[in-house]
Structure 1
Amino acid sequence: MKFLAITLIVHAPHPVTGVRTSTAERFREVLDNALLAEELGFDGFGVGERHERPFISSSPPVVLSHIAALTKRIRLFTAVTTLSLLDPVRAYEDYATLDHLSGGRLELIIGKGNGTAQRELFDVSPEDQWERNAESYEVFRRIWRQDKVTAGTRFRPPLTDAEVWPRPLQQPVRVWHGSATSRESVELAARYGDPLFSANVTNSIEPYAELIRHYRERWEHHGHDPAAIAVGAGTAGMYVARTSQEAIAAYRPVFEGNLAFQKQLGLEPVFPTVEDFVERSSALIGSPQQIIDKVHRYHDQFGHTVLHLHADAGGLTESRHRDSLELFQSEVAPVLRRDIPDPPFAWGPVLAGPPATGESAP
């Protein structure tokens, strides 16, 4: 099993103290957490993309390029790239450049994105957001594989023998499809034989498990080898301590602060108490053995081989956050790496050969 540390770069008041850091300090935290993730042996570090408050993750290529310059080994993920809002040509240029600068460490998780404010900012309607996502991905995919691209498009000017530079380093970059509960992302991933990354954050396990089962069905429907499936899954939070009592006691103020923030936003909480949150959500809060057991329970339903954890302290003290990550890496990760297989592909740059000029997208 592989492990990612991911941040959406939320810039909100601290859930316990109520203090909000400056924007510059918040970005510095992201960089420090990326360095910590590489130091502790995580396999990847991901940065989200949102274009509305309370997030400041509107430019993941810039953030990841800075992280690429500070790190040497860790793979760099987007979580997610909102292709429904972006011009796929411009997105390709940014990410191909980042891929070269990072030495082929880039992987993308794409999705349509959430949020009314960011949709309105880019003048994208709810009715065409899924079609935009599919069209943008198809164009992006072809640009990565073809030296010249001709494509009739609805949501951007058509392309005729278009050349887009720089040409890629990874051939091609791996693209995961991020999904919460919508079948559109699943269908797109299954059609192209791409890996799926389940959000697995907001709800209990059932809707995510159902969608992953549907993905596996559609994967086989499109003629792909079942052995080649790769699924990743998120977590709603993490704090690993020596005992469950210690873990819940430390996490309770964080949970209650986040609960109050949700209520301020007018959101109805799915998990009303920290005990319910620990029991029914994907959060990994408890002793090392409890964390191992819970990941196994989810793996029984998902068959996932990649797991993402929160890169941010998220209300914990910095020392507790680091202690939790160290304990995860020393006592949890080795067991899960032994028990659960890796994805069915090499965890490294995709440099099999030159781009296939003239290749058509399926």
Structure 2
Amino acid sequence: LQNFTSTPRPLDGTPPFVWHGSIRSPEIAEQAAYYGDGFFHNHIFWNIEHTRKMVRLYRQRYEHYGHGAREEAIVGLGGQVFIGETEAAAKKTFRPYFDNAPVYGHGPSMEDFTQMTPLTVGTVDQVIERYLGYADEVGDYQRQLFLVDHAGLPESAVLEQIEILGTEVVPVLRREFEARRPANVPSDPPRGGLAAVEPATKHNHAATDK
């Protein structure tokens, strides 16, 4: 950005960590790796093979630019869930919204879509099991975002889903991800982004790119 001032300014003078979000563009993975920033893959409309390919590219290029080992790169994934007391109950409640959703309604069936993408319609245990598996596919990662206010769900249903995620799903995922995380893999993004990189190192990165 040229001649642009962001507001509000960082409270302590340290710039926030920057994420580069992508759905299908490898150029974004390259850009995130070049600057040593985080790479967030949307994931919600893609199969795991595509997501694995994008994250692998980012990790390889992150290491190439000298920011650290590829497993130390900062990764986030998107996801979608609808949780019920039983799988049958969750599907019965969510299906009318899915079938008429502006984005994916009248397209693949809910069963096909849940197979092809991270959308998981089922119980707390099914959501936990599936999302723990993504670290096996892309490596240990730092952020998992969930889309819950989609498909025209009423506010009451959205708030209920947030409550279930916050009390029954996220604590387990956090505990299990931390238990399996290797010692050299950060659990959180570093503060400051490029501010933590020596000027000479930044110059060498630019020279390498040219």
Name the TM-score, length of structure 2 as normaliser: 0.79
Aligned to 1:191: 34
2:22 equivalent to 1:98 = no
Count of residues in correspondence between the two structures: 196
Q: CA deviation at 1:224?
A: 2.6
8 Å contact from structure 1 (residues 175, 195) kept in 2 = yes
Q: Structure 1: how far apart are the matches of 2:92 and 2:155?
A: 16
Q: CA deviation at 1:287?
A: 0.4
Aligned to 1:344: 186
For residues 227-264 of structure 1, give each alpha carbon's deviation from its aligned partner in whole angstroms, at most 9, with x where no partner exists: 531100112x3211111111111111111111xx3489
Aligned to 2:128: 292
Pair 1:170–1:240, CA change in 2 (3 A): farther
* Structure 1: stretches of 5+ with no match in the other structure: 1-86, 104-168
Aligned to 2:118: 282
**Quick check: which one's helix share is greater?**
2
8 Å contact from structure 2 (residues 82, 148) kept in 1 = no
Question: Greater shift after overlay, 342-351 or 217-226?
Answer: 342-351
User: Of the candidates 60, 71, 77, which is equivalent to residue 233 of structure 1?
Assistant: 77
Pair 1:307–1:99, CA change in 2 (3 A): farther
Give the SS at the match of 1:89.
coil
Give the SS at the match of 1:174.
coil
2:54 equivalent to 1:208 = no
8 Å contact from structure 1 (residues 238, 309) kept in 2 = yes
Aligned to 1:154: none
8 Å contact from structure 2 (residues 128, 172) kept in 1 = yes
Aligned to 1:254: 97
Q: Structure 2: how far apart are the matches of 1:183 and 1:307?
A: 20
User: Of the candidates 157, 168, 179, which is equivalent to residue 320 of structure 1?
Assistant: 157
Give the SS at the match of 1:238.
strand
Q: CA deviation at 1:278?
A: 2.1
Pair 1:318–1:348, CA change in 2 (3 A): farther
Q: Structure 1: how far apart are the matches of 2:58 and 2:44?
A: 18
Which amino acid in 1 is paired with 2:158?
Answer: H
8 Å contact from structure 1 (residues 244, 287) kept in 2 = yes
Q: Structure 1: how far apart are the matches of 2:188 and 2:135?
A: 21
Which amino acid in 2 is paired with 1:278?
Answer: T
Aligned to 2:208: none
Aligned to 1:222: 65
Greater Cα radius of gyration, structure 1 or 2: 1
Q: CA deviation at 1:200?
A: 0.3
Q: Structure 1: how far apart are the matches of 2:113 and 2:26?
A: 26
